[in-house]
Amino acid sequence: SIDIRDEFHRAVHILQTAGIEAETHIRMDAERMMPIVQNVLGMCLRECITNVVKHSGAGKCSIQLLEDKERYLLLTCDNGIGIAKGQNQTRKWGAGLLGMKERLSLIGGTLELASDVENRTKVKITIPHHRT
Ligand code: ATP
Ligand code: MG
């Protein structure tokens, strides 16, 4: 199964290999994260970073892994070409974005995609804590 910390280091390496400066911030207790959550979050991180490399043309990308009392949070932000307005509609999404959404929905997670005025593409993924 996926270890979210390994996946995080892999993501940074992939960005750097593509010549994209990685800025990272982790404030998350990975030890206590359930394997299913590590799997889904790791898969999402991989897809997000693949998209940045494939589509964004960015020079920089930040990755944040955070948690608060209620949820885990994965935030990525790149300074590339941005997502065209119409692309923020589910029907324009490809297999990558739809696949993330589908897996996230199985564990109560959500994905939001947005580009701001400066064309930064931001992805926000939230997963509620699962307690046994
Ligand atoms: P797949 O993931 O199935 O291999 P894909 O990457 O094209 O194919 P999605 O991951 O669903 O499909 O992304 C849909 C589209 O959204 C992309 O084709 C691209 O146009 C756009 N996109 C996604 N991420 C970014 C990004 N970081 N910057 C710019 N455009 C993006
Ligand atoms: Mg993709």
pLDDT in tens, 42-53: 999 999 999 999
Span from the CA of 79 to the centroid of ligand 1 (angstroms): 15
Task: For tokens 């790149």, name the residue.
Answer: 78
Report the residue among 97, 119, 122 best suited for mutation to probe ligand 1: largest number of ligand atoms under 8 A from its CB. 97
Q: 121-131: per-residue pLDDT in tens?
A: 999 999 999 76
Q: Which of 10, 117, 118, 8 is nearest to 63 (CA)?
A: 8
The interface pTM score, or ipTM, of the predicted complex is 0.99
pTM: 0.93
Q: Whose CA is nearest to atom 20 of ligand 1?
A: 55
pLDDT for 15 equals: 98
C-alpha to C-alpha distance for 79 and 72, rounded to whole angstroms: 24
What gap in Å lies between CA 22 and CA 34, rounded to an integer? 26
